[in-house]
Amino acid sequence: MKLRTSEYFIQETFRSLRRNNWMSFASIGTVAVSLFVLGVFLLLVLNMNRLASSLESQVQISVYLEDGLSESARKDIASDIEALQGIEEIRYVPKAEAKERLAERLGDQKYLLDALGEKNPLPDSFEVVLKSPDLVETAATAITRMDGVEQAKYGQDVIEHLFAITRLIRIFGFALMVLLAGATLFIISNTIRLTVFARRKEVAIMKYVGATDWFIRWPFLLEGMVLGFVGGVLAAIALQSFYAAMASKIYETLAFFPLLPQVPYMYYVSIAILLAGMGIGALGSTISLKRFLKV
Amino acid sequence: MIQMKDVSKIYENGTMALDHVSIDIEKGEFVFLVGASGAGKSTFIKLLLREELPTEGELRVAGRDVVSMPRSEVPYLRRGLGVIFQDYRLLPDKTVFENVAFAMQVIEAPRRLMQRSVNAVLDVVGLRDKYKCFPRQLSGGEQQRVAIARAIVNDPAIVIADEPTGNLDPETSWDIMDIFERINRAGTTIVMATHDRNIVDAMKRRVIAIEDGHVVRDEARGGYGYEA
């Protein structure tokens, strides 16, 4: 494309954006809202996946013991566990220590424990660390069967629930996205249709003097892409502050939660959003060009 | 320059606009296309521009086979044709200069040629000094002259004019015909559809009369005739 020609395209694009300012505004708004929602779901799914994989890679089993176990029984259990395959480390956590840890984790909300007074409902436990995540499940099953063991908890049994939730979020998010994308396409193609209509004389003349189809299409395509792009930028900015706010909220209450760091993930999501915006914009233009230009 | 052989055009609604028409127009000819409204003149012009395809027959325009031409080549066909309409079809928010330059711009003609070519054609139609005016500041005749300038700025082999004097008074019409005559003398083929009996009779050029989709008369130095 010649420099002069692209100059012309850009001029035409911004001229008609100004001329349709109202519709341009509405289109940008719809794009921004849709893409924002897309971004929220994207971040949600990414975080869920990350949580799942971090749970999956956990090599620790918490073994809760029955109440009132004698010290010798406890030692038997410990040696039984140690005899299992792939045990890296085993550590005894008495109920008092468990309570202290809980208090620590609760932070500001430590007062919740005050209600318990001197009572401690937490069980004694072992923390068992394995050499590899593959061994966790077999070890946990074996440990659960031992006498005096109440239960053996590990990350993977949470994962199934997590996957179920993630799947739901994906389906719901996808359905919502399809709807929003449809609405966005509709409003963008309407905006472009207005532009095409406003310039139908010009387009007719262009055709008579021998402009190629692509020459005629470009300014409209660009207009759609600019609408999508600007909407995308707004969505990305909003998403950035939304995620930052959410992240600090989550860290306050769930400090252990393995949240995706803003850098570089926000960049990835922003780029995805911008590309999606421009794609939707270009598609919207193409739809109305097909229907109303017949170049 | 234009070879039409046994061309028929039947529209989707069943109207037979042209019925086995064969016409040969040589390079440099000046041809009037006469006939009542609905006789098939507009269809004839639409076929030349490939706005419509013939239902059957062969058609070559400016060395190109219009019938078998892929859609992507249509713009290049049209670059060899200059079109003028009864209603001028100028862009109201562009100046005279810009309206003419527009035809060069959209075919991506080199910028350095633009200034010179536009000035040259504005000289031909006598509007060089009005280059800054907008169409609404011009008379009908002047607007049509701008349209002519736009049609010839890319140096087409054929100029096709559809009732170019239809909205103009007789005197202004003669100014327009004068310009056409000069363009023709420079070697450009001209095909002009018209209702203007006085002009056709006075010019003594080739006349092709169409009636109900048939060529009923084709005379080298004809007049408008009596039937219309």
Residues contacting A146, CB < 8 A, separation 6+: A77, A80, A81
For B66-89, the pLDDT digits (tens) are: 999 998 999 999 999 999 999 999
Residue % of chain A over a pLDDT of 90 = 15
Dig out the tokens for A253 from the structure: 């209450």
**pLDDT value of position A11:** 85
CA distance A122 to B11: 89
Q: Which helix or strand (DSSP H or E) is residue A57 part of?
A: none
**Interface contact flag, A205 B102, Cβ < 8 Å:** yes
Q: Do A66 and A148 meet the contact criterion of CB atoms below 8 Å apart?
A: yes
Contacts of A210 in chain B (CB under 8 A): 75-81, 106-107, 154
Q: Do B83 and A210 touch (CB under 8 A)?
A: no
Separation CA A8–CA A71 (nearest Å) = 87
Taking 70 as the pLDDT cut, the residues of chain B under it are: 226-228
How many Å lie between the alpha carbon of A264 and the closest alpha carbon of chain B?
43
Q: How confident is the model at residue A293 (pLDDT cuts 50, 70, 90)?
A: low
State the best of A12, A203, A205, A216 to mutate against chain B, taking most chain B CBs within 10 Å: A205
Is the pLDDT at A258 greater than 80? The verdict is: no
pLDDT in tens, A180-208: 888 888 888 888 888 888 888 888 899 99
Q: What is the distance between the alpha carbons of residues A67 and A120, in angstroms, rounded to a whole number?
A: 11
Q: What is the pLDDT of residue A95?
A: 87
Give the mean model confidence (pLDDT) for residues A164-190.
84
- State the ipTM, two decimals: 0.88
Q: Is the pTM of this model over 0.80?
A: no
Q: Residue B103's pLDDT is what? A: 93
B78 vs A202: CB contact, 8 Å cut-off?
no
Q: C-alpha distances in angstroms, A153 versus A3, A139, A140, A166, B109?
A: 66, 11, 7, 21, 76
Q: How far is B24 from chain A (nearest CA, A)?
A: 23
Please determine, for residue A103, whether its predicted confidence score (pLDDT) is greater than 60.
yes
* Distance in Å from the first CA to the final CA of chain B: 28
Using pLDDT thresholds of 50, 70 and 90, give the confidence band for residue A3: low
Using CA atoms, how far residue A252 sits from A100, A271, B47, in Å, is: 19, 29, 75
B112 at interface of A, judged by CB pairs closer than 8 A: no
What rounded mean pLDDT belongs to chain B? 92
Report the alpha-carbon distance of residue A181 to residue A290 in Å, rounded: 19
pLDDT tens per residue across span A125-147: 998 988 888 888 888 888 888 88
How far is the CA of A108 from the CAs of A103, A113, A117, A262, B152, in angstroms? 9, 11, 17, 26, 84
pLDDT digits (tens, 9 = 90+) for B183-223: 999 999 999 999 899 999 999 999 999 999 999 999 888 78
* Non-local CB neighbours of A70 within 8 Å, separated by 6+ positions: none
Contacts of A8 in chain B (CB under 8 A): 105
The number of C-beta contacts closer than 8 angstroms across A and B is: 49
Is residue A1 scored above 60 in pLDDT?
no
pLDDT at residue A116 in the model: 78
CA dist A145 and A158 (Å) reads 20
pLDDT above 80: residue A292:
no
Q: Give A118's contacts (C-beta < 8 A, 6+ positions apart).
A: none
Q: Hey, what's the torsion of the CAs at B195, B198, B201, B207, to 10 degrees?
A: -10
Closest CA to A210 of B43, B63, B76: B76
